[in-house]
Amino acid sequence: MSGFRLIDIVKPILPILPEVELPFEKLPFDDKIVYTIFAGLIYLFAQFPLVGLPKSATPAVNDPIYFLRGVFGCEPRTLLEFGLFPNISSGLLLQLLAGLKVIKVNFKVQSDRELFQTLTKVFAIAQYVILTNIFIFAGYFGEDLSVVQIGLINFQLVGAGFFTTLLAEVIDKGFGFSSGAMVINTVVIATNLVADTFGVSQIKVGENDQTEAQGALINLIQGFRSKHHTFVGGIISAFNRDYLPNLTTTVIVLAIAISVCYLQSIRVELPIRSTRARGTNNVYPIKLLYTGCLSVLFSYTILFYIHIASFVLIQLVAKNEPSHIICKIMGHYENANNLLAVPTFPLSLLTPPTSFFNGITQQPLTFITYSVFVLITGIWFADKWQAISGSSARDVALEFKDQGITLMGRREQNVAKELNKVIPIAAVTGASVLGLITILGESLGLKGKAAGIVVGIAGGFSMLEIITIEYQQSGGQSALNQVLGVPGAM
């Protein structure tokens, strides 16, 4: 032990931090499904409005991170104000820093790994506390809150964050399928997509108690006989209302979803053969989306930090007054629909426009700066992540060696070199293509839905891959067999 290591600072907190026990034995396939579904359901159930907010109709401070919410499963003014963001960001950042040797962790030593994961957890919960109090003192939950109200909001948001962390941990520890944060995120994005299309819940719009359905398709059908629209006006409104999901955005989101599904199937198939037996030829696929949704998640994590930092400066320090020196340098927030806080010039460079025409007329530079930002962060991340995540060319080559596989027509020593020609390029190209799709969708004014669906579909496929492997290995006894009518089952 020489010098100070960041992971050592969590040592004193270790005994009081809840730690989910590992399962005694490997759980059956069906149990894992039940755990995963219940963890997802409990998370969805937590989309519950906060207690203790003032009852005034229009809040003074609007939502500054509206376009980031779709990616991290956040719901404004509910228990899930910050959703999964602290978990995902602390995991991504700390693992990246450890991989780049900025934080000293020796992953070979068990105590180091334990400390490292505890650090991840502490960092996540600390972020919940910090974000909650930033939002409280910036006046997001209302001006002049009493001490009781501040305490209550802290209790609710930090408590929700704490349980979100534990739910993700339950799934991670082997009670569910692989990664908790990503499973829950995928569940939330899928639910949101359905709610935006078929949601029947009636939401008040306008002054005279007019209500419209949340779902775009339901709204179109209701528009035929609603009182505050003419017949044609109802149809037009179904396609271009901007306060709730409309059919145009739904169609664009579906188009993005389909194109990501298509990209998912693109891969290079390297021919392999066994070194032990003759005639056993096969292919080893290397997907174009080698880093999956993580590159987009990383770009959005960085965007989130930038926007929270500027929210602190603009709202908390400068009180959003355009004459203040900070607001002159960084821009200020403007109110849109009484819901969103849309930043003005310098900060707007990193904010996707609320609609395509707004973007063209008011912030044309954004298209360039935002695209460059997402592409550069995504590509940089993919390049680093494929090398450090334990699936780099060298690691795959080692795996080949263990399993007695080699690339067709290559000597065993050259496998790593050969894989190195494919894997980094696949990772970087995949990240840039995903980034381009995200940029395209966001430029059309989807307010985070494009990035959300990209993360959801790409993440969902990564999950599906793991679930399928698990099913093939131990799903023989599964009750799913009977439900799906697999031949040979009971």
Least distance CB 420 / other proteins (angstroms): 14
**Nearer of residues 113 and 319 to other proteins, judged by Cβ:** 113
Question: Which tokens belong to 169?
Answer: 């941990």
**Nearer of residues 150 and 349 to other proteins, judged by Cβ:** 150
**Nearer of residues 101 and 227 to other proteins, judged by Cβ:** 101
C-alpha–C-alpha distance, residues 348 and 332, integer Å: 9
Burial class, 61, CB count within 10 angstroms (exposed 0-12 / middle 13-18 / buried 19+): buried
Least distance CB 230 / other proteins (angstroms): 39
Least distance CB 35 / other proteins (angstroms): 7
**Nearer of residues 213 and 263 to other proteins, judged by Cβ:** 263
Least distance CB 454 / other proteins (angstroms): 13
**Nearer of residues 96 and 193 to other proteins, judged by Cβ:** 96
C-alpha–C-alpha distance, residues 53 and 384, integer Å: 43
Least distance CB 299 / other proteins (angstroms): 14
Secondary structure in 3-state letters for 47-72: CCECCCCCCCCCCCCCECCHHHHHHH
**Nearer of residues 157 and 252 to other proteins, judged by Cβ:** 157
Helices 247-264 and 231-240, axial angle in degrees (round to 10): 40
**Nearer of residues 256 and 431 to other proteins, judged by Cβ:** 431
If you search the block for the tokens 């993700």, which residue do you land on?
Answer: 168
**Nearer of residues 180 and 445 to other proteins, judged by Cβ:** 180
Least distance CB 277 / other proteins (angstroms): 26
Least distance CB 103 / other proteins (angstroms): 11
Long-range pairs for 437-440: beta carbons < 8 A, 24 or more residues apart? 437/256, 437/259, 437/260, 437/263, 438/296, 438/299, 438/374, 439/370, 439/371, 439/374, 439/375, 440/256
- End-to-end CA gap in the chain: 59
Least distance CB 373 / other proteins (angstroms): 21
Cα dist from 479 to 27, 79, 310, 473, 489, whole Å: 14, 35, 51, 15, 9
Q: What are phi and psi of 413, to 5 degrees?
A: -70, -25
**Nearer of residues 104 and 319 to other proteins, judged by Cβ:** 104
Question: Which tokens belong to 247?
Answer: 């059919």
Least distance CB 80 / other proteins (angstroms): 11
Per-residue exposure over 410-449, b if at least 16 CB sit within 10 Å of its own CB, e if not: beeeebbebbbebbbbbbbbbbbbbbebbbbbbbbbbbbb
Residue 455 contacts residue 298 (beta carbons within 8 Å) = no
**Nearer of residues 93 and 327 to other proteins, judged by Cβ:** 93
Residue 32 contacts residue 176 (beta carbons within 8 Å) = yes
**Nearer of residues 52 and 346 to other proteins, judged by Cβ:** 52
H-helix or E-strand containing 407?
strand 405-407
Which segments within 166-312 are labelled E, that is strand?
A: 202-205, 210-213, 267-274, 281-287
Number of neighbouring beta carbons within 10 Å of residue 289: 26
Closest listed residue to residue 86, CA positions, set 115, 126, 118: 126
Least distance CB 112 / other proteins (angstroms): 9
Least distance CB 20 / other proteins (angstroms): 6
